[in-house]
Structure 1
Amino acid sequence: MDKVDIQLLKILQEDGRITISDLSKKLALSRPSVSERLLRLQEKGIIVEFSARVSPAKLGRETLLFIQISELKGEAKTFEDFIQIVEDIIECHRVTGPISYTIKAAVSGIDGMRKLVDRLIPYGTINTSVILASPVPYRHLLPMEDEDLS
């Protein structure tokens, strides 16, 4: 990756709907050159998807939770298959240490939280935290300055 690729990533993370034409103007490159760079970044797995970020609260899921699951009962695959179909779960990470999984969920209030926790209890020990505020809800990522990504 060169400085142009890094600038391209920065622009795309700020505005994923920007057109190739506008990207080419901002980067002072031809449209085919920008398209080629985008394709190369996708092929390398640096750009993994294009998507829209939505507000959970505007979709009726105003309560955000972090749920930690420890002392997993049963096979990890069984649990992972189950959480794939639970729509309230928006992130799940298998982690090291005494906690087996950390989950981020978006539910509709305390009743939604209770229903989700009730569904998770058979899989292990549950520790739930309600998210009060998110000072850093999402951060754009760029390569570290001394990192060689070629």
Structure 2
Amino acid sequence: MDSVDLKLLKILAEDAHTPLRKLGRELGLSPSGVRRRIKQMEKNGLIIKYSAVIDPKKYGYGVTAFISVDADSRELGELTKSLSRRHEVCELHRTIGGHDLMIKVRVKDVDTLNKFVDDHIRCFDSVKSVRTTLAMETIKETLVNP
């Protein structure tokens, strides 16, 4: 990967619908050269997929919360499998250094959050403790910032 690829990734991360012709002008490449680079990054697995970024508030999810969970590690698989299927769960990480799981969820309101925690986390016998932190404001959010 060279500096042109990095610049291309930065532009695509900002707007994956940027026309090849415009990308080529910004990168000093022909549209076919840009297409080749993109296809190579897709082939190598660097670019996994393209998706729409949805405004959570306009979608009805006004509350973002981070939930730390401590659970019996022998039964963590069942909990993570269940949480992975929940549409409220935006991120699910197995962690060390404090808690077993860190979960980022988006929900309509605090009542919905409480119900989610009770119905989909605390209901597991393996869960030892749950700590919920509400985000007051999202200042920056990206998967990778090339």
Question: TM-score when scaled to structure 1?
Answer: 0.86
Task: Give the CA deviation at 1:16.
Answer: 1.6
2:99: which partner in 1?
A: 99
Q: CA deviation at 1:72?
A: 3.3
Are the structure 2 counterparts of residues 73 and 115 from structure 1 closer, same or farther at C-alpha, using a change threshold of 3 Å? Answer: farther
Q: Distance in 1 between matches of 2:64 and 2:33?
A: 41
Cross-structure match for 2:12? 12
Offset of residue 79 of structure 1: 1.2
Q: Which runs of 5+ in 1 are unaligned?
A: 143-150
Alignment of 1:87-126 (within 5 A): 87-119=87-119, 120-123=121-124, 124=127, 125-126=129-130
Q: What amino acid is the match of 1:66? A: F
Q: Which residue of 1 aligns with 2:142?
A: 138
State the 1:73 CA deviation: 6.8
Contact persistence 2:84–2:92 (CA under 8 A): no
**What's the secondary structure of 1:58's corresponding residue?**
coil
Q: What RMSD over aligned residues (CA atoms) do the two structures have, in Å?
A: 1.7
Q: Which runs of 5+ in 2 are unaligned?
A: none
| Residue type of the alignment partner of 2:42 | Q
Q: TM-score, normalised on structure 2?
A: 0.88
1:37-92 Cα distance to aligned partner (Å, 9 max, x none): 00111222222221111111111110110000113375222112101211111111
Q: How many residues align?
A: 142
Change (3 A) 1:94 1:139: closer
3-state secondary structure, aligned to 2:90? strand
Of 127, 133, 145, 1:129 maps to: 133
Q: Could you tell me which amino acid in structure 2 is paired with residue 121 of structure 1?
A: R
2:65 alignment partner in structure 1: 65
Conservation of the 8 A alpha-carbon contact between 1:73 and 1:122 = no
Change (3 A) 1:140 1:98: closer
Greater mean alpha carbon deviation, residues 113-122 or residues 18-27: 18-27
Once residues 112 and 7 of structure 1 are traced to their aligned partners in structure 2, the CA distance between those partners, rounded to angstroms, is 41
